[in-house]
Amino acid sequence: MRRDIPLRKGILAAALAAGLAAPALAEPLTMGIKLGPSSLDPHFRFAGETDNTLEHLYFRLIRESPTKELRPGIAQSWRAVDDQTWEFTLRPEAKFSDGTPITAEDVAFSLRRVPRIEGSPGSYVIFTRAIEAVEVADPRRLRIRTRTPYPFIPIDMARIFIVSRSLGEGVKTDDFNAGRAAVFSGPWVLETYRPGEVLELRANPNWWGERSPWSRVTIRTVSNDAARTAALLSGAVAAIDEVSLADLPRLRTDRRITLTQIPGSRVMYVAMDMDRDESPFVRDRAGNPLTPNPLKDVRVRKALSHAIDRTAIIERVLEGAATPAANLLPEGTPGTNPDLKPTPYDPDRARRLLAEAGLADGFRVTLHATNDRYPNDDKVAQAIAQFWTRIGVQTEVALQPNATFFAQASRQTFSVMAAQYGASDVSTMYRALVHSYDRAGGLGSANRTRHASPRADALVREALATMDDAKRNALFAEAARIALEEETIIIFVYYPSYVYAARQGLIVEPFNDGRFLAHEIRKR
């Protein structure tokens, strides 16, 4: 269904009447993106494609640089008062798009709202779970108290978008999607939204930060890779994200186009159902249900990992735009384990492990994956399936569009799934992806197959309450050794690179988490 959602007219009118017009120099920019947002509610789903778009409309207390350094956002400063208290001081000039000041009450409202969101397929609650209380000292100062010593509040506050408390306690996700909740804290305001097609934005006339050279921005969702490249070459769009790997060779030689590539703070992984004794897409060779579930056996999980030729996938399927993965994030990231190496390709060892597990004849499994979310995600899934089939694990691939895949995965529909997850720091990776699912504790929000390691969990929980950086990183490193090497509760395959393309004369500032922002596209 097509829906045009117009911005409330009073916002721009009031701002222009006050003499706060958008910059006169401005000219329009049209961007082509692979995936649009799943919702316009800035607290509904923590996912890259949604964050990518909503960062145009909303701002955070703390912002991240393209290389993940923490910088002032709505907060001009922050400090640890003690091990369980953080104080934030807001910028006096920060305003919403309707001209009202952004105050500590608005921040408190936003933080309270996150855990109340219903039906989220990827909750932001992992970034608020540690908070015991939010205290408003005055309009520009608030304090966040945590239940235990907790060093990650600044990182967490670089995740939560700030909305106006004028929207009211009863504001729902549908209100954002329908355009009824149209007060913005970011550099742009929404003019039109057609889900799955286009967002049209205008410069926020009350924006207090650095001005963009663009007066208005059109963000077109062009999911088909070939069509997105064609739109760039024809000039229909000025810049695109997630450049098709098949198009890389010719774009590299096209003098009209500038390519930007950066290693990503993201990992491609395979997750396996370690929860159920009988898993729905695991069968014996004859097609009958197989119990006990072989994925609960570490020897089977290790076999599946050794069966994957990571280098071959990167070279033949990904055009070299990735590196083999051993840790949660690329080597050198604080909290990773330098002793971990990518699992070597060893099909003979994989077969021996299956035999030791009593599965010398193999078994059957279905690998679920997306076919429109990541570069060549369908081909990567097919390659993994071929590697597994060669060791006797007959693997069928079931591909789904991104729009339905993660909702089904969150309902534990699958036995084995391939996906990607990205974050700027290992703490987020542990909290969301590696830790066992703990809805009450706000942990494991991206753990959709319910993999688990109680030993790693205990280390992660200890690390999350450790204020000393060196001790905390050592705990995380040991948790990685247990979860990824000793117990192999999840299989990490590669770290993808992000590739952007723009028409000559434009520069795209690359983010290592894949963000693609109009205000980070500049003229040469």
Q: Is the pTM of this model over 0.75?
A: yes
Give the separation between CA 401 and CA 404, rounded to whole angstroms.
Answer: 6
Q: What pLDDT does residue 23 have? A: 38
Average the pLDDT over 122-141 and give the result: 94
Q: Are strands 363-370 and 393-400 parallel, antiparallel or unpaired?
A: parallel
CA pseudo-torsion sign 351, 353, 356, 360: negative
Domain 266-497 has CATH 3.10.105.10: yes
Lowest-pLDDT range, 7-16, 219-228, 237-246, 249-258?
Answer: 7-16
Q: What is the pLDDT of residues 496-506, one digit of tens each?
A: 999 999 999 99
Q: What pLDDT does residue 26 have? A: 61
- Average pLDDT, rounded, for the chain: 92
Residue, of 375 and 236, whose pLDDT is higher: 236
Residues 6+ positions from 470 with CB-CB distance below 8 Å: none
Look up residue 91 and give its two tokens.
């910028």
**Percent of the chain scored above 90 by pLDDT?**
81
Average the pLDDT over 386-414 and give the result: 96
Residues 6+ positions from 209 with CB-CB distance below 8 Å: 59, 187
CA angle, residues 45, 51, 54, in degrees to nearest 5: 105
CA pseudo-torsion sign 194, 200, 206, 207: positive
Q: What is the CATH number of domain 9-221?
A: 3.40.190.10
Residue 3 has pLDDT above 70, yes or no: no
Residues 46-74 as b/e (b if ≥16 CB within 10 A, e otherwise) read bbbbbbbbbbbbbbbbbbbeeebebeebb
CA pseudo-torsion sign 343, 347, 349, 350: positive
Closest by Cα among 417, 327, 329 to 381: 417
Residue 8 has pLDDT above 70, yes or no: no
Residue 96 has pLDDT above 70, yes or no: yes
Quick one: DSSP state of residue 496? E
* 133: helix, strand or coil: strand
Average the pLDDT over 86-92 and give the result: 98
Average the pLDDT over 289-295 and give the result: 97
Q: What pLDDT does residue 182 have? A: 94
CA angle, residues 471, 472, 477, in degrees to nearest 5: 100
Residues 95-130 as b/e (b if ≥16 CB within 10 A, e otherwise) read bbbbeeebbbebbbbbbebbeebeebbbbbbbbbbb
Average the pLDDT over 330-338 and give the result: 89
Of these ranges, 87-101, 330-344, 507-521, the one predicted with the greatest mean pLDDT is 87-101
Q: What pLDDT does residue 361 have? A: 96
* 36: helix, strand or coil: coil
Longest dimension (CA), the chain: 77
Q: What is the pLDDT of residues 193-247, one digit of tens each?
A: 999 999 999 999 999 999 898 999 999 999 999 999 999 999 999 999 999 998 9
Q: How buried is residue 365: exposed, middle or buried, by Cβ count under 10 Å (0-12/13-18/19+)? A: buried
* Confidence grade of residue 494 (pLDDT, cut at 50, 70, 90): very high
Give the separation between CA 276 and CA 449, rounded to whole angstroms.
Answer: 9
Q: What are the residue boundaries of the structural domains of the chain, listed by start?
A: 9-221, 266-497
Quick one: DSSP state of residue 485? I
DSSP string, 160-179: PBP--GGG-TT--HHHHHTT
Q: Phi and psi dihedrals of 124, rounded to 5?
A: -80, 0
Q: How buried is residue 422: exposed, middle or buried, by Cβ count under 10 Å (0-12/13-18/19+)? A: buried
Average the pLDDT over 149-160 and give the result: 95
Question: If phi over 0 gives left and psi between -120 and 50 gives alpha, with beta otherwise, what is residue 446?
Answer: alpha
Q: What pLDDT does residue 19 have? A: 32
Over its C-alpha atoms, the chain yields an Rg (Å, rounded) of: 23
Asked if the peptide bond before residue 292 counts as cis, ω within 30 degrees of 0, the response is yes
